[in-house]
């Protein structure tokens, strides 16, 4: 959820400021770009040098900065526009009051009043301060502005008291941000199954029947689904590709039978299934135990049998699932794709044709046509496969939300 996001972290003068070193590390690890605004009082609790080192950006404290004898200023308007998320943690009672009343007496407050992005604040103060009517009024006022409060936790406080007012732990702040961002995504709460790549059907211990699929299209579809808020099962045949995303479970298989079993185990639990894998239609009827030796110039004959049709099986079993197939055709593409769509009881099919330059296997681009069960056809231009994935998901989301 936070990968590629610009997070502006405002740190105010409370003892909980020491936790922000851990918070910055977690944000960076989650893939965010982090800039820090520190109030003067906060610098007594946490070192600007430490935060600068961890965030890999200069820590901002004043409107005016002096570098090599020259004066310049920290543009609060630019900072507010830069941020995708403005997080104020810890947010002291003093700062909360300023935010609620618009008291602009430092760089953090000026940036807050200029921010166009979602603002989150994590209160931190002693028990009696947290319960004071003026603090409660600040909370109500800030929530009415559309700001989001990360509730304080209960525990031991700096005063020695124990109760509510302790700043949420960095791990919980990160989780709160991720859940808040996911809540507005179109696939939030959805489970998605995607097959990708080729399958390898063994002939003997060293040889197999396979195809030229790299799995790129399926992996891009999985990454886009995760970015849209889905929990993804990515079932991939033999491919050099990998993926690191907390919302993607990568299940590696080799043969069509292994892929069938992996799909069968998970299909009933998902909302959307996309069969993007190039699954072998046939496999050797017998697999040689030892490597097959070449016998002079005599031809080798392999007896083949059909593999299980994974896509057709999903089409038969679907109850609530939206099932999408792929059709790679070399001729009569539209006609054959429509036949496959209806024969396998799919909700939609994505056609890509080997007749189109830049489409198909072994390329970072693709040219597809989306066809739904009502035979509504939408053709797209040649694009990078990451953009194609976005187009396909836009078509699916439009139909499942209809």
Residue 45 Cα distances to 11, 74, 303, angstroms: 10, 22, 75
Whole-number Å distance between alpha carbons of 64 and 73: 4
Task: Tell me whether residue 84 is annotated as binding.
Answer: no
Whole-number Å distance between alpha carbons of 69 and 321: 65
CB 278 within 8 A of CB 307: no
What would the two tokens of residue 329 be? 């055709």
For 93, phi then psi, to 5°, come to -60, -35
Task: Tell me whether residue 401 is annotated as binding.
Answer: no
Task: Tell me whether residue 19 is annotated as binding.
Answer: no
- For 84, half-sphere exposure in the C-beta direction (CA atoms, 13 angstrom radius) is 12
Q: Which of 172, 211, 271, 336 is catalytic?
A: 211
Task: Tell me whether residue 344 is annotated as binding.
Answer: yes
Residue pointed to by tokens 């005599």: 298
What would the two tokens of residue 239 be? 């491919």
CB 130 within 8 A of CB 161: no
Of 247, 281, 287, 279, nearest to 263 by C-alpha is 279
Angle at alpha carbon of residue 123, lines to 127 and 172, rounded to 5°? 105
Whole-number Å distance between alpha carbons of 60 and 80: 13
How many C-beta atoms surround the C-beta of residue 292 within 10 A?
13
Residue 332 φ/ψ region, left for φ over 0, alpha for ψ in the -120 to 50 degree band, beta for the rest: left
Q: What is the DSSP letter of 198?
A: B
Residue 348 Cα distances to 151, 303, 312, 394, angstroms: 44, 34, 13, 13
Residue 57 a catalytic site member: no
Residue pointed to by tokens 């002291």: 92
- How many residues comprise the chain? 402
Whole-number Å distance between alpha carbons of 201 and 331: 26
Task: Tell me whether residue 291 is annotated as binding.
Answer: yes
What would the two tokens of residue 288 be? 């040689």
- Residue ranges for the known binding site are 281, 291, 326, 340, 344
- Residue ranges for the known binding site for CTP are 281, 291, 326, 340, 344
Which amino acids are annotated catalytic? 211
């Amino acid at each position: 959820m936070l990968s590629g996001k610009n997070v502006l972290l405002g740190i105010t003068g409370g003892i909980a400021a020491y936790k922000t070193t851990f918070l910055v590390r977690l944000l960076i690890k989650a893939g965010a770009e982090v800039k820090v605004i520190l109030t003067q009082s906060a610098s007594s609790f946490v070192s600007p040098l430490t935060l600068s080192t961890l965030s890999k950006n200069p820590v901002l404290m004043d409107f005016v900065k002096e570098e090599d004898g020259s004066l310049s200023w920290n543009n609060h308007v630019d900072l507010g526009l830069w941020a995708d998320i403005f997080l104020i943690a810890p947010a002291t009672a003093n700062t909360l009051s300023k935010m609620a009343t618009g008291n602009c007496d430092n760089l953090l407050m000026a940036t807050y009043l200029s921010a166009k992005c979602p603002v989150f604040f994590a209160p931190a103060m002693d028990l009696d301060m947290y319960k004071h009517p003026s603090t409660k009024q600040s909370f109500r006022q800030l929530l009415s502005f559309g700001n989001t409060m990360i509730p304080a936790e209960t525990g031991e406080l700096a005063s020695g008291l124990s109760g509510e007012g302790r700043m949420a732990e960095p791990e919980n702040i990160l989780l709160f941000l991720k859940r808040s961002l996911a809540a507005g995504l179109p696939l939030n709460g959805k489970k998605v199954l995607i097959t990708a790549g080729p399958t390898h059907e063994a002939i003997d211990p060293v040889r197999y029947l396979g195809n030229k699929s790299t799995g790129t299209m399926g992996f891009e579809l999985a990454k886009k689904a995760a970015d849209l808020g889905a929990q993804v099962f990515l079932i991939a045949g033999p491919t050099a590709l990998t993926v690191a995303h907390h919302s993607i479970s990568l299940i590696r298989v080799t043969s069509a039978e292994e892929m069938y079993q992996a799909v069968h185990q998970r299909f009933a639990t998902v909302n959307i299934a996309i069969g993007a894998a190039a699954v072998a239609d046939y496999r050797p009827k017998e697999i040689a135990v030892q490597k097959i030796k070449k016998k002079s110039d005599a031809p080798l004959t392999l007896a083949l049998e059909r593999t299980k049709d994974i896509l057709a099986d999903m089409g038969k079993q679907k109850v609530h699932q939206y099932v999408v197939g792929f059709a790679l055709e070399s001729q009569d593409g539209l006609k054959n794709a429509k036949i496959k769509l209806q024969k396998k009881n799919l909700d939609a099919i994505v056609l890509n044709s080997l007749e189109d330059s830049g489409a198909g296997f072994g390329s970072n681009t693709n040219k597809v046509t989306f066809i739904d069960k009502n035979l509504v056809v939408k053709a797209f231009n040649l694009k990078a496969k990451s953009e194609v994935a976005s187009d396909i998901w836009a078509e699916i989301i439009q139909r499942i939300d209809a």
